Amino acid sequence: MDFEQLKQACLACEKCDLCRTRTQVVFGEGNPNAEVLFIGEAPGKSEDEQGLPFVGRSGQLLDQYLKAIHLDRKKNIFITNIVKCRPPENRDPAPNEWDSCLPYLRLQFKMIQPKIVVCLGRIAAQRIIRPDFSVMKEHGQWTEKNGVFFTATLHPAALLRNPNNKPLSYADYVAIREKIEQVCTHTYE
């Protein structure tokens, strides 16, 4: 299976009940050969409408941070979510929804083969890095697993609610830029 076939399989997915309430599946956006993979929680209203990740207000903030460190979802990163369909009323995804959806993320990870993974927010960090990960205490720290560097930063939606934390998150993006310079080979400018 190649990346496009994976996308088509995901777009047709009916493995959990979220398929009944979604408008569109949000598979992810970006360069499938990216060295840097960003992972959020689940699509919200705007993402469900447009079929793209992080396109609402929090996505606009994310794009500002990305731009500041020469990252661009159209060029040199891939952005996706753990759960690919919007939970109704933005409720937390249910365990069976996580479990049904996780194989898509695993395959995306296997095919993209990123060198750096950035978890956006607590939920993604706890699913991907460690179940007891504290995003407030441990954001910006790095863990290496099988040669891939994992980190987490505050969710952009949390920064919109709490703008005082923006400098904390900005420092994480600066550290991501430094890590890219250490471990990535593509050109980022």
Applying CB under 6 A, the residues found at the interface with ligand URA are: 40-44, 47, 53-54, 58, 81, 157
Q: What are phi and psi of 161, to 5 degrees?
A: -75, -30
- HSE-CB of 71 using CA atoms within 13 angstroms: 28
User: Looking only at Cα atoms, what is the longest distance across the chain?
Assistant: 45
Give, to the nearest 10 degrees, the angle between helix 166-183 and helix 57-68: 50
Q: Shortest gap between Cβ of 96 and ligand URA (angstroms)?
A: 19
Judged by beta carbon, residue 63 or residue 183, the one nearer ligand URA is: 63
Q: Shortest gap between Cβ of 156 and ligand URA (angstroms)?
A: 8
Judged by beta carbon, residue 59 or residue 181, the one nearer ligand URA is: 59
Judged by beta carbon, residue 91 or residue 186, the one nearer ligand URA is: 91
Judged by beta carbon, residue 46 or residue 183, the one nearer ligand URA is: 46
In 83-147, the DSSP E strands lie at: 116-120, 143-145
Q: Shortest gap between Cβ of 147 and ligand URA (angstroms)?
A: 26
Q: Shortest gap between Cβ of 44 and ligand URA (angstroms)?
A: 4
**H or E stretch including 106?**
helix 95-112
In degrees, to the nearest 5, what angle opens at C-alpha 22 toward C-alphas 53 and 57? 35
